[in-house]
Amino acid sequence: MAALKHRRTALERVEKFLSETYFTDCNLRGRLFGDRCPLVSLSCFQTPRRIPYDEAVGQEFRTAKVGDSFGPTWETCWFKVELSIPPAWAGREVHFVWESDGEGMVWRDAQPVQGLTKEGEKTSYILTSSLKETDPHSLTLYVELACNGLFGAGKGSMIAPPDPDRRFTLSKAELVVFNRDVYELLVDLEILLDMAQLLGEENQRSFQALYTANQMVNVCDVMDPSTFPAARDLAAAIFSQRNGESQHTIHAVGHCHIDSAWLWPYEETIRKCARSWVTVVRLMECNPELTFACSQAQQFEWVRSWYPGLYRQIQDFVAKGQFVPVGGTWVEMDGNLPSGESMVRQFLQGQRFFQEQFGRICSEFWLPDTFGYSAQLPQLMRGCGIRRFLTQKLSWNLVNTFPHHTFFWEGIDGSRVLTHFPPGDSYGMHGRVEEMLKTVKNNKDKGRVNHSALLFGFGDGGGGPTQKMLDRMKRMSDTDGLPRVQISTPDRLFSVLEKESSQLCTWVGELFLELHNGTYTTQAQIKKGNRECERILHDVEVLSTLAVARDGAFQYPASQLQRLWRLLLLNQFHDVLPGSCIQLVVEDALQYYAEIRRAGARLQEEAVQSLCRELLQPKAGSTESTLVLNTLPWERTEVISRTGPAGTETLALVTVPSMGYALVREPLLPPQPVAVRKQEDGSIAMENGVIAVCLDMMGHLTSLRLVDSKRESVPDGCYANQFALFDDVPLYWDAWDVMDYHLETRKPVTTLLKPLEITLAGGLRGSASFSLQIGESSTLTQEIILDATCPYLRFLTQVEWKEAHKFLKVEFPVQVRSTNATYEIQFGHLQRPTHWNTSWDWARFEVWAHKWLDLSEHGFGVALLNDCKYGASAHGNVLSLSLLRAPKSPDATADITCHMFTYAAMPHLGSFQDASVIQHAYNLNFPLHTVPASSAQCPAWSAFSVSSPAVVLETVKQAEDRPEAVVVRLYEAHGSTVVAWLQTSLPVKEAMLCDLLERPAAGGRLPLEQRGMRLSFTPFRVLSVLLVLRQ
């Protein structure tokens, strides 16, 4: 009899036939598993440590049973599982089923064999697909259970701080017969049901799918498996009806985004990688078509060290082209805050690792989950052998919908990379019909490209693809009404997109994420550790390179530097440096910074000892002098603090040559000493011949003048250095987000604890200090410092911060009119509007910068410099620096501590380029080094200098593969086309241009001339030069 034309009852009939909840006594789902059999025995042992298998199996195990709970959070339980498969199950598929709310790993014969995570839909380990008489029937397995879920152990919500006392329950542990024929029929019906529901009532294909599914229910007797083939034939008839030629093709790639640390510590991530990747390896054994894109060299290195057997299997699948390393970086780092050189090292360490381990570098940059993308990235990618980029995070924009999914992205220097955002706006798809339809419907480049990516697999906390995801997509490979779905690789996708790219649009400049702009400020200690350690490693490399060049016996500390760089790069992961991680991770990160500081100080001392050995030996009867080292590529005249013979600190004005040193006995006299005077109204004036400032009793800057031109920076009646406190309660993502509406809650800080007093009376340095109360219980103490000859005023700040959901900023209203402000980014700068004309403008109410931001009109401007801050804004004529936040999730203690940081205000004539704002921001971040020396006479020595102020020599290091060669990296910082001469006193025998991976450029040989090496720059171009030294 024909089916009645009642769509709703037919749909719901099929739904109930598949339901896990209703009618399981008589529907198809209830037949998925056959007989069950309990384990022979189950015993366990618990430890607070994450220990290796060999150690675990030697422990004393006690009896355990299903229903027991284990904990607390972050503990590990090892279970010994003894099982015996009933001989009556001959010919059947047998699974070991394990369900728990912790994350498990099955070990068999001392090797990891299967990850078990209920949240990742992995609850069984296949013992045999068809039990033979010769198969082992009795065996012992071990299950390593982590007392944390896929997303850690948040108390009440996913991103809440972890619940330290959570218990984890073992709810199932048994052997079952798995009915594969029932499973296949269930997948058929699921796909048909989804087609019926999602293709819509106006689509005839929807009804074909519905009536076929309805007919299958009629044909199918769940008690009689012999009826199943007929039902499956009905489904196959639908799935085999092909598409037309114009249909969109989806390139499905297995993926498992694993955050290197987030709601769990680094150590747990090592196990997450193993659990996820061993599962992928098992799937590849059964599905030779499966491909899996895997990023982050650090995670491969972890598995290589901790799970060598698994790693060898991964290497085999990499060789077969199934397990595909992507990304080319050490970790998936934050896209905004790491310095230019840090980003280069992410690629250098990553690409070298992939080359060494797998014989090839990655051809696509892979950063699906990072909170915005610097406009310098395209040039850095291309310098590292990458012309393709994949992400999807801009789909999270809160205000504006990004207009493309496939496009060319052009950086500040003009470099372009082909960029693809999977149009399904996710990196964790499940292979469902709904996702395929969304991918096609949502694609913003219809008619331009007809191919797109779909990344499938559980992600963030690991998990990865499942067999069911693959089986769903097999049925959709070419079925009329659905896009074509093929298991593919990133390379295959991008190769097709490259062929289709003639009609693509270009996006110029940064890919700014209109969300998560609190991550420029959260966890200030991590931000400070990052900036400081970037500086330390820069200085150690410069000084060690010079030491090698001057003294052949000195060994460049290459392996120690690699270890320290890798720690720094790890902390740049996109939930650590942004501050969006739990307290355990913060503690690890701060420990890594402490290690870089400790080891870095030792390496620096060794390099200086070698470089300046004869100057540091005290001579009999000699009076002490001071050796001053400058690691920056320009001459500097600055006030330093040095320890006198009696151990007292004294100030001295010194001049030190570019990237070199000078011996100081008699300090210079300043052309004009700093004058400090207190006025009758309690305000304090300071002047040094370059700038003159006036401060009121509250520490406000009421006047900031250039002495020669008498040009005033602070508008009449306004206060600069004004602290303001804002309510900071986002919609959900606490550590991540600061919302636009926080600006409506501004409260100026007005409670004075200690009025402004002179602390240094002038001469080489003048300063004044004051204290304020901030909010309910926080205090701020500041010393405002003016040095002789210095063009900026420094604000040395200490905050005892105890707030909750408050945001502290400091504001500088300036007498400048401009529609754009300029912000330093990696190896350059960019402009952003100071107005809120359009939604694209106001969505950038809080932005990021590196060492400086500047607001200039023709002929005059004011710059704000800083030594460890990243959040900033410029609206109208007010420059703001974001200082501290106080989120409570996922770390309830975030930022509640004592903070020390420095920022500076620098008024200038002309452009910021001509006024050397860039150089002064470097000077603030890279203090001169002082070492007590003997009084031996010694001429000043300079290793490198550059003829043009537009070009910054950023990096001097030993070449990775050639100990007799040095790599120097320079960039054009002004946004100009310029020729610069690089001069060096090092014994160079040949010079050549190279890329960021230090591979010599074709035809890149540089002649060595009297003036040095001639280098040609276009705006913001980064050049690397390989210098081979004479031995």
Q: How far is the C-alpha of 645 from the C-alpha of 655, rounded, in Å?
A: 21
Tokens found for residue 8 = 């709703």
Cα 558 to Cα 352, 449, 465, 540, 570: the distances in Å are: 14, 46, 39, 11, 18
- Known catalytic residues are 369
- Phi, psi (5° rounding) for residue 919? -65, -40
Cα 437 to Cα 212, 248, 250, 441, 801: the distances in Å are: 20, 10, 10, 6, 50
Cα–Cα nearest to 836, from 851, 819, 859, 816: 819
Q: How far is the C-alpha of 112 from the C-alpha of 117, rounded, in Å?
A: 14
Q: What is the per-residue pLDDT across 62-84, written as a single tens digit (0 to 9) for each?
A: 999 999 999 999 999 999 999 99
Q: What is the per-residue pLDDT across 809-822, written as a single tens digit (0 to 9) for each?
A: 999 999 999 999 99
Q: What is the per-residue pLDDT across 322-336, written as a single tens digit (0 to 9) for each?
A: 999 999 999 999 999
Q: How far is the C-alpha of 541 from the C-alpha of 538, rounded, in Å?
A: 5
Ramachandran sector of residue 516 (left: φ over 0; alpha: ψ -120 to 50; beta: rest): left
In single-letter form, the type of residue at position 6 comes to H
Mean pLDDT over residues 955-976, rounded?
97
Q: Is the pLDDT of residue 235 over 80?
A: yes
pLDDT at 615: 84
SS3 391: coil
pLDDT at 312: 98
Mean pLDDT over residues 747-756, rounded?
98
**Which band of pLDDT confidence, cut at 50, 70 and 90, is reported for residue 252?**
very high
pLDDT at 616: 82
Q: Is the pLDDT of residue 203 over 80?
A: yes
Cα 698 to Cα 18, 701, 722, 756, 901: the distances in Å are: 71, 9, 9, 6, 19
Q: What is the per-residue pLDDT across 35-66, written as a single tens digit (0 to 9) for each?
A: 999 999 999 999 999 999 999 999 999 999 99
Q: What is the per-residue pLDDT across 400-421, written as a single tens digit (0 to 9) for each?
A: 999 999 999 999 999 999 999 9
Ramachandran sector of residue 547 (left: φ over 0; alpha: ψ -120 to 50; beta: rest): alpha
pLDDT at 184: 98
Q: Is the pLDDT of residue 905 over 90?
A: yes
What percentage of the chain carries pLDDT values higher than 90? 96
Mean pLDDT over residues 605-625, rounded?
81
**Would you say the pTM of this structure is higher than 0.95?**
yes
pLDDT at 466: 98
Q: What is the per-residue pLDDT across 912-942, written as a single tens digit (0 to 9) for each?
A: 999 999 999 999 999 999 999 887 778 999 9
Sign of the CA dihedral 846, 849, 855, 861?
positive
pLDDT at 3: 67
Q: What is the per-residue pLDDT across 118-166, written as a single tens digit (0 to 9) for each?
A: 999 999 999 999 999 999 999 999 999 999 999 999 999 999 999 999 9
Dihedral angle over CA of 838, 840, 842, 848, nearest 10: -150
Q: What is the per-residue pLDDT across 519-559, written as a single tens digit (0 to 9) for each?
A: 999 999 999 999 999 999 999 999 999 999 998 899 999 99
Q: Are strands 765-774 and 138-146 parallel, antiparallel or unpaired?
A: unpaired
Residues 979 and 1021: beta-carbon distance below 8 Å: no
Cα–Cα nearest to 716, from 704, 698, 728: 704
Q: How far is the C-alpha of 1015 from the C-alpha of 980, rounded, in Å?
A: 5
What percentage of the chain carries pLDDT values higher than 70? 99
Mean pLDDT over residues 832-847, rounded?
98
Q: Is the pLDDT of residue 239 over 90?
A: yes
CA angle 950/512/588 to nearest 5° reads 90
Mean pLDDT over residues 23-43, rounded?
97
Which string of DSSP letters, residue by residue, matches 124-159? EEEEESS--TTS-SEEEEEEEEESSBTTBTBSSSTT
Which string of DSSP letters, residue by residue, matches 611-639? HTHHHHSPPTTPPPEEEEEE-SSS-EEEE
Mean pLDDT over residues 257-267, rounded?
98
pLDDT at 619: 64
Which string of DSSP letters, residue by residue, matches 225-236? GGGHHHHHHHHH
Mean pLDDT over residues 659-675, rounded?
92
pLDDT at 618: 67
Counting Cβ atoms within 10 Å, is residue 306 exposed (0-12), middle (13-18) or buried (19+)?
middle
Indicate the average pLDDT of the chain: 97
Q: Is the pLDDT of residue 709 over 90?
A: yes
**Which residue bears the tokens 């990865």?**
464
Q: How far is the C-alpha of 238 from the C-alpha of 567, rounded, in Å?
A: 54
Q: How far is the C-alpha of 765 from the C-alpha of 945, rounded, in Å?
A: 29
Which stretch of DSSP H or E encloses residue 608?
helix 583-611
Q: Is the pLDDT of residue 623 over 90?
A: no
pLDDT at 624: 77
Q: Where are the extended beta strands (E) located within 347-466?
A: 364-366, 388-390, 406-410, 416-420, 451-456
Residues 842 and 740: beta-carbon distance below 8 Å: yes
pLDDT at 337: 98
Half-sphere CA count of 586, side-chain side, radius 13 A: 24
Q: What is the per-residue pLDDT across 472-502, written as a single tens digit (0 to 9) for each?
A: 999 999 999 999 999 999 999 999 999 999 9
Mean pLDDT over residues 162-180, rounded?
98
Q: How far is the C-alpha of 236 from the C-alpha of 166, rounded, in Å?
A: 47
Mean pLDDT over residues 636-652, rounded?
87
Cα–Cα nearest to 957, from 1026, 1005, 1016, 1015: 1026
Counting Cβ atoms within 10 Å, is residue 4 exposed (0-12), middle (13-18) or buried (19+)?
exposed
Q: Are strands 111-116 and 103-108 parallel, antiparallel or unpaired?
A: antiparallel
Sign of the CA dihedral 885, 888, 890, 892?
positive
